[in-house]
Structure 1
């Protein structure tokens, strides 16, 4: 999460939406950069409003606009699946090594998913709403917005990129995902 005081922006770090690359590009010009622990870096809208807004916004005297990025839901899950399939996690309970993407999504849809598929929901992360929500697949929209609001060039590289992997889903699993996580698909469709 990055805080920009004068431009009155809080850039929230929705997991697997390119926020590490944004941090690398902008942290040096931010007034506050929370990059660890992950629970604070990936502070949800609700948590920000409940626990941090009073501090950063001087108890409502200087409100900040919340900015976030959302990724298409299947692509987002694919990034999690590939990220958790990397060699560094082999043998750990959150590893997806040896699992198909279809099996991962089925596990994700369980009421109590196993550790490898416990990744939350973008809609839940963004519950409560942000002022500016950008599509992951249109990075120039976000970069133009940030350049205008921050008054500086914004050059974002790539960071924390998930390895390649097969993201084939059966029609049944795709349909179950769209039904089971309808809020994510509805929010994405509204962008």
Structure 2
């Protein structure tokens, strides 16, 4: 089961993997977080079909993840990238800065990583190689929903604040990177 973490190339993966999908969630359920899956979908699959699928997701370098969100929304934002990061980190972000974070998306309510395979966005060949092996087929991703390039400078103070606030997510991405771009876990 592929978890579609927003801004990690999940649409391209979904399009490429559609021929092998037995179940696909679209529109409002596309970005179902891991916690909701373990509360609602996993019990249903177990009870109704005796299935316990392996799960996978992609994590992007956290600052690059915010840069992708900013590029996606830049044409409608009242701030530059530094202001966007500050808004995301504020205690009460405005609607345009409520993007959630990858760590919350990937963990169960108890804070435990809730997937079997975590790949880094920056290690696309590792991800594609693993999928090709699992599907016994050549799989390619065609870019989807690519945002235009926009400058994303950040001040040292904002970067330091970001690093402190996102330390756990940065550490998870670093663990997956250190594992060669594929962190195998037990959910």
Q: Please report the TM-score for the alignment, with normalisation by the length of structure 1.
A: 0.85
Q: Does 1:176 align with 2:171?
A: no
Moved more, 112-121 or 21-30: 21-30
* C-alpha distance after superposition, 1:115-138 (max 9, x if no partner): 111000101111132110000011
> Offset of 1:24 from its aligned partner?
1.4
Q: Does 1:135 align with 2:120?
A: yes
* C-alpha distance after superposition, 1:17-50 (max 9, x if no partner): 000111111113311111211xx11111111100
1:160 alignment partner in structure 2 = 145
Whether the 8 Å contact between 1:102 and 1:170 is mirrored in structure 2 is yes
Is the alpha carbon distance of 1:60 and 1:187 closer, same or farther for their aligned partners in structure 2, counting shifts above 3 Å?
farther
> Offset of 1:54 from its aligned partner?
1.9
Q: Which runs of 5+ in 1 are unaligned?
A: 1-9, 87-94
2:64 alignment partner in structure 1 = 75
2:97 alignment partner in structure 1 = 117
2:24 alignment partner in structure 1 = 33
Is the alpha carbon distance of 1:42 and 1:73 closer, same or farther for their aligned partners in structure 2, counting shifts above 3 Å?
same
* C-alpha distance after superposition, 1:142-187 (max 9, x if no partner): 1111111122221111001111111111000000001112111111
Of 48, 51, 54, the residue aligned with 1:62 is: 51
Alpha-carbon distance between aligned partners in 2 of 1:155 and 1:58, rounded to the nearest angstrom: 34
2:8 alignment partner in structure 1 = 17
Q: Tell me which stretches of 4 or more aligned residues in structure 1 moved more than 4 Å.
A: none
Whether the 8 Å contact between 1:35 and 1:41 is mirrored in structure 2 is yes
2:179 alignment partner in structure 1 = none
Alpha-carbon distance between aligned partners in 1 of 2:83 and 2:107, rounded to the nearest angstrom: 27
Of 124, 132, 147, the residue aligned with 2:132 is: 147
Alpha-carbon distance between aligned partners in 1 of 2:143 and 2:19, rounded to the nearest angstrom: 17
Whether the 8 Å contact between 1:54 and 1:60 is mirrored in structure 2 is no
Question: What is the root-mean-square deviation of aligned Cα atoms in Å?
Answer: 1.4
Q: Please report the TM-score for the alignment, with normalisation by the length of structure 2.
A: 0.87
Using CA pairs below 8 Å that are at least 6 residues apart, which structure has the higher relative contact order?
2
Q: Which runs of 5+ in 2 are unaligned?
A: 177-187
> Offset of 1:60 from its aligned partner?
8.3
